[in-house]
Structure 1
Amino acid sequence: LMDERLQNASINGNVAGLAELMKEEEGRALLGQVTPGLCNTCLHICASYGHTHFAAEVLRLRPKLASVRNKQTETPLHIACREGKAQTARLLLESNPSLACSALVAAGDEKGANAMMLAARHGHVEVLKLLLSDRWLPLFRVEGSLVPSLLEAASRGHS
C-alpha cells in the first residue's frame, strides 16, 4: 500500500513534501508503492490532478514509472489525457517517446481506448491539439488510429 504521506503529496502536488520523503532511508522505495484498488502509482495520481512539476520530479527520480499500468491498464499518460491535463500529458510524452508511441497508438485502458480516444471522449481540446501536433501526429497515422479517435470526438459533439 502507498504511504499516506506520498499519496497526499501526489494529490496536492507537494514537491517539497516529496523531497522530504526522498531523504528518508527508504525514500526511493516509496515511489514503487501503489494505491489499494486501482494500483495507481504516485505518477498516476499527480497526472490526474495535472501537477506537472510534481510529475517532473517523480520522473527524474524514477523514469520507469511513466510506463506502469494500473489495474485498468492505464499509464499516467492515459490518465492525464482523460482528465484534460495537457501540460502533464506533454511532459509524459516528452519523457519517454517510445512509451508515447505505445500509449498513443495501442489500446490503453481496459475498454481499448488509447490516450487520444480518451481525450476525445471527454472533449479535452487542448490535449487533442497537443496529440495532433506535428511531433505526435505521425504516430497516429502509422497505425491508422487517427480516424477512430476523431470519430469518437465528433460522435460526442466535440468539433
Structure 2
Amino acid sequence: MDPTLYNAAVEGNISGGDFSLAEYLKRDKENPYQVTPTGNTILHVAAHYGHYHFVAEVLKISPALLCHRNKKNETALHVAANEGHIKVVHSLHSMDEHYKETLMRMTDENGETALHNHQDEARLLAKEYPEFEFPSNKAQETPLYLAAESGLHEALIEILDSCK
C-alpha cells in the first residue's frame, strides 16, 4: 500500500495540505484496493484506529470495499467490532441494504460473524438483524453462547429479546 494512503488511514486524514482522500482515490481506480502485507485495505486500517469519518468518506467513493476481506478473512466490520469502535460499526451499517445483507453473512477465518465479537456491537447487530440466523463459529459457539460465557449481560438480553 502506498505510504501516503496508509498514513492517511492511520491518522484519519481526509484532507490537509496538498492531500485530498477523494482526489487520491479517484485518481486511479485501483487506489482504494491497495492492501498492506496482511491484506488490509484503507477501510480495514481506518476501522482499526476508529476513524469513522474516514470510513464514511471511503465508502462514498468505493462502497465495494465494505466486503473486501484481509488475509484473516476479516472485513472492516470484523476489525471495528474486534476493536470496540461502535461509531465505525455505525458508519459501516449506514450502507445500502445490498451490502448489509452480504456483510452480515461474512465470516472470518474462525467462522465468526461480526456479532461474535464485542458487547456493544453484538447488541447493535442483534437489534438491526433480528431475522438473521447467526451461525456458530468453528468452535461451535454461537453469539448467544459467547455472550453468556463472557458474562455480557446486556448483549445477552438484547440477543434474547431481539433475535428469533
TM range (shorter): 0.7 to 0.9
Distance 2:19 2:65 in 1: 17
Distance 1:23 1:102 in 2: 28
Residue 29 of structure 1 corresponds to 30
Residue 116 of structure 1 corresponds to 115
Distance 1:100 1:72 in 2: 20
Indicate conservation of the 8 Å contact 1:22/1:28, yes or no: no
1:156 aligns with 2:150: yes
Q: Compute the displacement of 1:23 (Å).
A: 3.3
Indicate conservation of the 8 Å contact 1:66/1:92, yes or no: yes
- SS of 2:33's equivalent? coil
Distance 1:22 1:103 in 2: 24
Change (3 A) 1:136 1:19: farther
Change (3 A) 1:67 1:4: same
- State, as a whole percentage, how many aligned pairs show the same letter: 35
In structure 2, the gaps of 5 or more residues are 154-164
TM-score (norm 2): 0.78
Residue 8 of structure 1 corresponds to 7
Distance 1:144 1:11 in 2: 31
Q: Compute the displacement of 1:144 (Å).
A: 5.0
**Size of the alignment, in residue pairs?**
147
| Alignment RMSD (CA, Å) | 2.4
Q: Compute the displacement of 1:39 (Å).
A: 0.6
Trace 1:69-84 onto structure 2 (pairs within 5 A).
69-84=69-84
Greater helix percent: which structure?
1
* Deviations 1:12-35 (CA, angstroms, capped at 9, x unpaired): 111115952543584543211000
* Deviations 1:18-77 (CA, angstroms, capped at 9, x unpaired): 9525435845432110001x1100001111111111001100111110010111111111
Runs of 4+ in structure 1 over 6 Å off: none
* Among candidates 106, 114, 126, match of residue 120 of structure 2: 126
Deviates more, 1:18-27 or 1:2-11: 18-27
Change (3 A) 1:21 1:59: closer
* Deviations 1:76-103 (CA, angstroms, capped at 9, x unpaired): 1111111111121122122143333333
Q: Compute the displacement of 1:111 (Å).
A: 0.8
